[in-house]
Amino acid sequence: MKQPLRTIHVELVARKLEKLSGYLQELEELSNISLEAYERNAPAKRAIERLLQIIIETACDINGHFIAKLAQKAPATRRASFYEMVELGILEPDTAERLARSVGLRNRLVHDYNTLDNRLVHAAIREALEQYAGYGRIMHRYILEDGGSASGHYAKGDDPPL
């Protein structure tokens, strides 16, 4: 028997997923920039860095909502939020591992601006587009199939709706 779980705020998650999709489209428009152009073009560089940051933060916000509602706690950290989504049966472990690693980039973008490796950030463009588009599809499918209703949630150990 499934444990009673709090309701996911589907409209909130859908809005965040829509924003995530928009950020990914913006990043896609900048994705063909060469490393040399990225290093020389300060406005494009800052736009890419900011988009990477808010893409990662938006996913962490979505994770936080699910964790708060389904596990009735706050995520331990942004990085841990992806692993906690595995515990909830929403993300696969390998997906969570790839996404969790990107939180390190977010932290460097926010806290170590002067010591960023341009090659690392430039390479992260394509990775973010692939990984976070996949994350968005998983989460969108989850709220569509589940509808956010308590009766449709899957407790740990049950088959997730992926």
Q: Is 119 a catalytic residue?
A: no
Instruction: State the chain's maximal CA–CA distance in angstroms.
Output: 59
Residue 33 lies in a domain: yes
Residue 73 lies in a domain: yes
Residue of 106, 108, 119, 126 marked catalytic? 106
Distance between CA atoms of 27 and 29, rounded to whole angstroms? 5
Q: Which helix (H) or strand (E) holds 38?
A: helix 35-40
Inter-residue contact 49 to 109 (CB < 8 Å): yes
Place of tokens 């599809």: 137
Residue 42 lies in a domain: yes
Residue 54 lies in a domain: yes
Residue 33's CATH number: 1.20.120.580
The one-letter amino acid at 91: L
Residue 3 lies in a domain: no
Helix (H, G, I), strand (E, B) or coil at 41: coil
Residue span of the structural domain in which 58 resides: 10-149
Question: Across the 162 residues of the chain, what is the mean pLDDT of every consecutive 10-residue run?
Answer: 56 96 98 97 96 97 95 94 96 97 92 83 97 97 68 35 32
Residue 67 lies in a domain: yes
Residue 2 lies in a domain: no
Residue of 111, 119, 122, 126 marked catalytic? 111
Residue 100 lies in a domain: yes
Instruction: Give the pLDDT of residue 154.
Output: 35
Q: Is 106 a catalytic residue?
A: yes
Q: How many domains does the chain have?
A: 1
